[in-house]
Structure 1
Amino acid sequence: MRQVVLDTETTGLEVRQGHRLVEIACVELIERRLTGRHYQTYLNPDRAIDEGARLVTGIEDEFLLDKPRFADVVDDFLAFIDGAELVIHNASFDIGFLDAELARLDNGAGRISDRCTVLDTLAMARERYPGQRNSLDALCKRLGVDNSRRDLHGGLIDAQLLADVYLAMTTGQGAFELGFEGAVEQRDAVVVAPVVLRVRPRVLHASADELLRHEQRLDALDKSSADGQSVWRRQG
């Protein structure tokens, strides 16, 4: 299975206000393994970057003046993603901007959904970790992914981090390159061969702050329970 982990940077938050892409970055996974292939480009958006976006990305207007426009790179970009499953954090945001850029071309390129399926890791994280922060930084911390290089948001760094987060979140669904070997997937069942550990598993312990917030969450659930004690407290 071929997947492309994708991230974009933009001039602002609202595509309906005419904001544009300033960076597209992708990394390739095949059978849940990073191949080393990637696609990355900066773009001249033909408009100014909002101050808030500039502070987040560190990208300046002057830096983009000599960069290609979306129309100049669209063929290479579409060739890279064509037929893949796109893995995106908060997919509606990135897909909205990509579809808007394709619509501006007026060349029959269609929409991203005409070429790819999309997996939204934000929706996945909200289902797995309800009531918790599920930003990329929060997920890196929760899953033990090193994000120390992420001083500013950059498309390629974020795509690489998201690939690590996605693999960590879904490691029970198949073979994870750095963890276990021997899992064989079949259409109707998963047959698992004897597990061989390559490295000692990392044990993550809750911090004092996390334990405090956990207790505060249980207190809130107790208050909403009819008998003053939530099912989580009784199970504990």
Structure 2
Amino acid sequence: MKVIYFDTETTGLDCRDCQIIELAMITVIEGKIVDEYDRFIKVDGKLPPRITEITGITDQMLDDDGFDEAKIAEDLRQRLTPNTLMIAHNAQFDLSFVYSLLQRYYPDADEILSKMDWLDTLTVLKDRKKYPHKLIDGVKHYGIQEVNFHRAIDDTRALMDVTRAMINERPDLEEYINIFGFNPKFGVSGPIFPFIEYKKQYYNNFMVSSGNILPKK
């Protein structure tokens, strides 16, 4: 089985008018890491100061080490083979930006992404621990060594460790594939993807029973 853990850093929150500035992917096949990918992406204009403050990524870093967006889209296209399991924390966000990126270069972006499977560890974490549910909260909850959060490759490594801890904790992770929970107060952010089932998800103060997880509601 091929699994890709991935994360993005972006110029803002809205995929319609913001861009990815860093994309990281760790590809695992049959339990072994076969590829680690981390690229800066050149963007139009200057970075918002707040983004540099959060991520530590500067305009100079993108100018010196960034790749053209078309090249990143090509790299993505090569890796997104059918039936690959894509894993992200708050996957709706990262999927939305990946979709917007691919759409600018490939007219069949919808078809490409529909042939993948998607797992959102945020949705899982909301069923397993009380609020809050950021990736750093999952890292602390499972006793994983902390990393330089808000840099895509470090977040991706932490994501992989959190996912493995979740697998060891309880064997129901597969039931969350292609199911994204969302806060009904705010609704689904970004595009609605037909290959994802969206379900209302409220906060829990404890790990829910195996018969009461979101996929079974």
Length-normalised TM-score, structure 2:
0.72
Answer whether contact 1:10 1:22 (CA < 8 A) is retained. Answer: yes
Out of 60-69 and 154-163, give the one that drifted further. Answer: 60-69
Provide the residue aligned with 1:7 in structure 2: 7
Query: Residues 133 and 21 from structure 1, CA distance in 2 versus in 1: closer, same or farther, beyond 3 angstroms?
Result: same
Identity among equivalent pairs (%): 28
1:1-236 equivalence runs, <5 A? 1-16=1-16, 18-31=17-30, 33-66=31-64, 67-83=66-82, 84-105=84-105, 107-111=106-110, 113-129=113-129, 131-147=130-146, 149-150=147-148, 152-171=149-168, 172-173=170-171
Answer whether contact 1:23 1:43 (CA < 8 A) is retained. Answer: yes
Query: Residues 38 and 115 from structure 1, CA distance in 2 versus in 1: closer, same or farther, beyond 3 angstroms?
Result: farther
Q: C-alpha offsets along residues 27-53 of structure 1, whole Å, 9 cap, x if unaligned?
A: 12234x242521221100113222222
Residue 47 of structure 1 aligns with an amino acid whose one-letter code is G
Q: Secondary structure at the match of 2:57?
A: coil
Residue 155 of structure 1 aligns with an amino acid whose one-letter code is A
Distance 1:161 1:5 in 2: 10
Residue 126 of structure 1 aligns with an amino acid whose one-letter code is K
Q: Secondary structure at the match of 2:133?
A: coil
Distance 1:34 1:134 in 2: 28
Consecutive unaligned residues in structure 2, runs of 5 or more = 173-204, 207-217
Name the structure, 1 or 2, with higher relative contact order (CA <8 Å, separation 6+). 2
Q: What's the offset of the Cα at 1:71? A: 0.7
Consecutive unaligned residues in structure 1, runs of 5 or more = 175-216, 219-236
State the superposition RMSD in angstroms: 2.1
- Give the structure with higher Rg (CA): 1
Q: What's the offset of the Cα at 1:61? A: 1.2
Residue 160 of structure 2 aligns with an amino acid whose one-letter code is A
Q: Secondary structure at the match of 2:104?
A: helix
Provide the residue aligned with 1:203 in structure 2: none
